[in-house]
Structure 1
Amino acid sequence: MRSQQGFTFIEILTVLSIIALATIGSLALRDWAVGNSRVSEAKSQIVTIQSGAQLWRPRTGDLTGISMTAMSSIAAVPETWGAGTSINPWGGDIAIAVDGTDTSVYVITVTGIEQAAEGARLAYDFTDYAISSNFSGDTLTLRFQG
């Protein structure tokens, strides 16, 4: 009678399969968590810009001249945001401008959103608060009443 030493080929394949499945599962979970983090950070930035727009807004309600630079200059948004270039979680720009048809409405644009699902989620999250909320290509466009 021979005594068996070591592992069989089937045992090794079973262990490697379990490790592979665990790795794939953790990578998918990590991607989901990173995506949620980016969406959460972008939402926070947009809310900060909304608050800054309320601080910047003159009593007349005419938002002509509003921009990230103008709001940064009076600390209505963090001064480090400057013109809004490369500050969003995807590395794109964030801009704010007056709507071309109504000077009491402002438009926030977030560009460079690489993941379509994340951009669509952001657009959906602001549907109840914005006049309009649209995600197309890699750009989120939100219109708010000033």
Structure 2
Amino acid sequence: EKALRKKMRAVTLLEFLLYLGAAAFVIISALLIYNNVMDSSKTSQAKTQIQTLMSGVRSLYAATGNYSSVSNSVVISAGIPPENMITSSTTLTSPWGGAVTVSGAASTFTVSYANVPQDACVDLLSSGVLNNSNVISVTVGSTTLTNSSDPAAAVTACSAAANNMVFTAR
């Protein structure tokens, strides 16, 4: 009888370890899925922010076409950026916590995103942003892209873990 109890206790311990391992697997899988969903959500949020900033600046300066006075404080005062981007009267922040800077020149303006993760950088470039007729180019690091049709170019340009992206528009 003692031998049978000892054997049953060992089986129970083995079963417990199997259940514990299965539970750990489920928890780790759930966390990985959650992180992927959050990353995808941040990239979608950035796409919306970029489109909102670009269309808002174009609308604000439609009468003159001269973007030399465009700045973060101007676009914030005009109510262009989504609320979740604004951290002060002169500061905009991306979904990843990096700085967003809006600036202008005579006939063009730029929207710059700092510290964009590699996968998000590739996704932003592959999403067709360069197919927008108002977007002239996107510069990632030292690489300037003028056509988003080649995914290999996006992958090569976004080779850093954290990328600085500059969207130039008119």
Length-normalised TM-score, structure 1: 0.79
Q: Distance in 1 between matches of 2:123 and 2:62?
A: 32
Shift of 1:60: 3.1
Q: 1:90 to 1:25 in 2, by over 3 A?
A: same
Instruction: Give 1:105's aligned amino acid.
Output: T
Q: Alignment partner for residue 128 of structure 1, among 117, 128, 131?
A: 131
Shift of 1:26: 0.8
Q: Distance in 1 between matches of 2:165 and 2:40?
A: 16
Report the structure, 1 or 2, having the larger helix content: 2
Report the structure, 1 or 2, having the larger strand content: 2
In the alignment, what sits opposite 1:71? Answer: 75
Structure 1, unaligned stretches of length 5 or more? Answer: none
Q: Alignment partner for residue 165 of structure 2, among 137, 140, 144?
A: 140
Structure 2, unaligned stretches of length 5 or more? Answer: 142-161
Percent identical across equivalent pairs? 21
In the alignment, what sits opposite 1:46? Answer: 50
Within 5 Å, give how 1:21-100 maps onto structure 2.
21-77=25-81, 81=86, 82-85=89-92, 87-99=93-105
Aligned residues: 140
**Structure 1 residue ranges (4+ consecutive) displaced by more than 3 angstroms after TM superposition:** 1-7, 76-80, 134-137
Superposition RMSD on alpha carbons, in Å? 2.4
In the alignment, what sits opposite 2:107? Answer: 104
SS at match of 1:64: coil
Length-normalised TM-score, structure 2: 0.69
Correspondence 1:20 to 2:24: yes
8 Å CA contact 1:55–1:76 kept in 2: the answer is no
